[in-house]
Every structure is written in C-alpha cells, then in structure tokens.
Chains A and B, each alone.
Chain A
Amino acid sequence: MADLDPRVALLLDKMACTELVHRLARGIDRCDADLVRAVFHPDATDDHGMYQGTAADFVPWVMEVLAGMRRTQHVIGNVLVEVDGDKAKGEAYFIAHHHIPGESGDNFMVAAGRYLDRFEKRDGEWKISHRHAVYDWSTVAGSTDMWDRANMPGYAFGERGHADPSYNHFAGA
C-alpha cells in the first residue's frame, strides 16, 4: 500500500467510505442487525434526531422502528467524501421510501435528506465513527402499490432478512 499512487489511494479511501454508506443502507433495508453493526466502529455514535446515542444501541432501536413498517428502500445518491489522512467526512444524499401500515390503509412515506458521516480508518479498515442524519423534505400519502405479491409467481420481491434474494445472490447461488 505504501507505494500506491496517492491519487489511487485517495480514490480507494473515497470508495471504501461510499461502500460503507451503501452497506449500511442494505443492512437497514434488509433489517439485518449484523450488517448494520459491521459498518460502525465499536465506539461509534449516531444522531438520528429522535435517536441520539451509541451506534451499538442504535441497532436495536432502529430494528424496532423498522419492525413497524412493511418495507423500506434507502436510495443513496450524491456522496461527497473529504479524506484527511485516516479520517474522512462524508455527505450522502438519501431518498428513503417507507411502506407503513396505517389504521385506514397503508401509507407510503418518502423522507429525503443527507447523512453527515465521519469515517475513521483503523488497522487499515475504514468504518463509520459517527452518523448524523439530516432531513430535507418528505411526502406522505396512501399507498398506491398494486402488486399482489402472493399471486405473482416468478417475480422476485424484496424481503427482510435472509429471505431476500440478494443473500443467495452474493453467496454465489
């Protein structure tokens, strides 16, 4: 690594940080606590506004929040990463889609904002040391999803946990 072109080294650092943002989104959308935990340093912290504390405690908190929803998709867009040695700061735009059961039918809530992350490279590995979620806009309306999931054989639908097709996919099945 020492003889790496500094421009390539910078690219690698930026890629690694962006990768963490994508892995965290995957962990959340699949409700995979292990995946979420794995992107944070052991002493990392999180500020989601309604949750402020350690990343370790964020995991069970967010899993409970997610359990109240049918499904989510956190789409990440623009990711700006500024690297400074073994530390980095990120700003990642997100549009988060939430399908939520309601008393008079399901709702579809879209929340958009930015994740302001701090990353640290320890023992050669980048992980998130702090995440701060900032909210920019949102919309909510009754769900207009028309898929009859139980009667659409052949189609692959997103699932929580290892039932999602992505697990077999990455396992090479």
Chain B
Amino acid sequence: MSMVRPDEVADRLAIMDVLNRYARGIDRCDLEVLRSVWWPEAKADYGTGEIDALVWSDGVVPALAAMRRTQHFLGNMLIDIDGMSATAETYCRAYHEVDSPDGPYDMQVGGRYLDRLEKRDGDWRLAHRRYVLDWSRNGLSTAQWDGPLYGTLTRRGQRMPDDPLYTGD
C-alpha cells in the first residue's frame, strides 16, 4: 500500500493540503473553507449515518461555535493514489473544550478519517469521508491561561474572523 511514486508528488501534496484545510475550516469555524474541501455530492459518515457532506458542514459549524475551543491535530497520513482518485487514512487527535455545570470541560478524541478523494479539472477534493473512533479522554479542564508563564502568551486562537490568521495580529 501507499508507495510514493515520482509522478504523484504534486498530487500527494495537494491531497495533504485538502486534509489540512478541513482542520482549519473546523477549528476556525470557517464554513467557506470547510465547504471547499468537498465535492458537491460528497458524502460523510461520522457515525450517525451517511449524509450530504455540505449539509453536514452547514450544521457542524454552529455546533463547533457553541464549544469554547477545538483543535483537530492531524498526524499520520497514508495516501494511495490511483489516477484520478485516492484513498487515504489520516490520524486525528481532536481536542474540544466545552462548558459544563462544573466549569470548562475537555473532551479529547483520537480517531481516523478514512477518505476517498477525487481529482477533477486538476483539483483534489473529498468525495467520501468516514470517521473511525479510537479513544477518548474526558474531564474538567485543567487549562491555565494566567500567571507569570502563561499570562505572557497573549495571542490566543479564536474563530473566524478574530483569529490572528485573519486579523494578521
């Protein structure tokens, strides 16, 4: 599986960009970026059934925005390219901080995206995504953002359009 071939370098890099752009769309709650990773008829199945990926995207952004913050940390990517289509597995370590009656609460999930991508008119996008759950870790947040060390780290991640990514600050 997944041998790196000379004629596929550009395709592999383009596919990695699509996979990474998904995480940006999710974590910045940037619907435009998130929608741009899918082909119009793409399907996604996160465990509650296969649905239209664009419909899913429209619904997930407000759900994410209701959380305090998220980070989808992508790791290992195994990509099999077969002409105009590709099959990929991407590891993800997802961090979600949400409100709870007892204060901020962390939900961490280790999982994998099983993707099928297609190249059309030179553009790679996701045609199908299935999410696999590997592990989870849950508990009250131990985040510390003040004090002599952390208090100096003032540039914090935000959602669009307040993140430094957009403001340039």
Q: Which residue numbers of A lie inside 8 Å of B, CB to CB?
A: 1, 4, 8, 11-12, 15-16, 19, 21-23, 25-26, 29, 71, 73-77, 95, 97, 99, 108, 143-147, 152, 154-158, 164-166, 169-170, 172
Contact = CB atoms under 8 A, between A and B. Distances in A.
Given A19-B2, A169-B114, A108 B93 contact: no
B77 A144 contact: no
A108 B137 contact: yes
Range, interface on chain B = 35 or more
B158 to A, nearest CB: 23
A23 B1 contact: yes
Contact of B2 (A11, A23, A73, A108): A23
B135 A108 contact: yes
9 contacts: A12-B4, A26-B76, A75-B75, A76-B75, A144-B138, A144-B139, A156-B130, A158-B111, A166-B112
Contacts of A146: 136, 138
A39 to B, nearest CB: 11
Contact of B137 (A8, A25, A145, A169): A145
Contacts of A21: 76
A163 to B, nearest CB: 12
Nearest to A29: B134
A157 B2 CA distance: 23
Given A156-B45, A156-B114, 13 more contacts: A1-B6, A4-B6, A12-B9, A29-B134, A71-B134, A71-B135, A75-B110, A108-B137, A147-B133, A154-B47, A158-B111, A164-B132, A172-B87
Contacts of B134: 29, 71, 73, 97, 157-158
Given A15-B12, A19-B2, A170-B89, A157 B132 contact: yes
A11 B87 contact: no
Given A97-B135, A99-B135, A22 B4 contact: no
